[in-house]
Amino acid sequence: MSNDRPLVTVVMPALDAGAFIGEAARSILEQRGPALELWVVDDGSVDDTVEVVEGLGDPRVRLVRNERHLGLVETLNEAYASVTTPYVARMDSDDVSLPGRLAKQVRFLEEHSEVDVVGAWSDSFERVPDGVEGVGEERTRWTLRPPTTHAALCWQVLLGVPFAHPTMLARREALLAMGPLDPSFRHAEDFEFWCRATDRLTLANVPEVLLKGRIHPGQVSSRHSEEQHRNTARALRQLLERRFALNVSQEVAAAIADPLAVARLQDLLRARRLLMSLVQRAMRDTELNESERVEVSRLIRFRARRLLKAAFHQGVQPFRFRGSGA
Instruction: Measure the CA–CA gap between 289 and 249, rounded to whole angstroms.
Output: 32
pLDDT digits (tens, 9 = 90+) for 91-101: 999 999 999 99
Question: Measuring CA to CA, how many Å separate 293 from each of 205, 286, 298, 299, 310?
Answer: 17, 9, 8, 10, 26
Amino acid 319: pLDDT: 43
SS3 97: strand
**Residue 326 pLDDT exceeds 50:** no
Q: Are 202 and 246 in contact (CB under 8 A)?
A: no
Query: For the segment 21-69, what is each residue's pLDDT rounded down to a tens digit?
Result: 999 999 999 999 999 999 999 999 999 999 999 999 999 999 999 989 9
pLDDT of amino acid 314: 72
Position 128 scores a pLDDT of 46
- Separation CA 219–CA 255 (nearest Å): 23
SS3 call for 224: coil
Burial class (CB in 10 A: 0-12, 13-18, 19+), 217: exposed
Domains assigned to the chain: 8-223 (3.90.550.10), 248-316 (no CATH)
Q: Does pLDDT of 318 surpass 70?
A: no
- Is residue 53 helix, strand or coil? helix
> Residue 315 — very low, low, confident or very high, per pLDDT cuts 50/70/90?
low
Lowest mean pLDDT among 67-81, 121-135, 240-254, 300-314: 121-135
User: What's the pLDDT band for 320 if we cut at 50, 70, 90?
Assistant: very low
Residue 220, pLDDT > 60, answer no
Q: pLDDT tens across 153-175, in order?
A: 999 999 998 888 889 999 999 99
pLDDT tens-digit series, residues 182-216:
999 998 999 999 999 999 999 999 999 999 988 76
pLDDT tens readout for residues 274-284: 999 999 999 99
- What is the structure's pLDDT at 218? 57
Question: 105 and 89 in contact (C-beta within 8 Å)?
Answer: yes
pLDDT at 2: 47
| Mean of per-residue pLDDT scores for the chain | 89
- The pLDDT value recorded for residue 50 is 96
Single pTM value for the model: 0.87
Percent of the chain with pLDDT over 70: 89
The 10s digit of each residue's pLDDT in 113-162 is 999 999 999 998 776 444 444 445 667 678 999 999 999 999 999 999 88
Q: How far apart are CA 282 and CA 286, in angstroms?
A: 9
3-state secondary structure of 76: helix
Q: Identify the pLDDT of residue 76.
A: 94
CB within 8 Å of 184: residues ≥ 6 apart? 231
Considering only 67-76, 163-172, 243-252, 308-317, which range has the smallest mean pLDDT?
308-317
Burial code (b: 16+ CB inside 10 Å, e: under 16) for 107-137 equals ebbeeeeebbbbbbbbbbbeeeeeeeeeeee
Q: Where are the extended beta strands (E) located within the chain? A: 8-14, 36-42, 61-65, 87-90, 96-97, 117-127, 138-144, 169-171, 203-214
Distance (Å, whole) CA 223 – CA 209: 27
Amino acid at 311: A
| Residue 130 backbone dihedrals phi, psi, to 5 degrees | -60, 145
Q: Choose among 23, 65, 26: nearest CA to 42.
A: 65
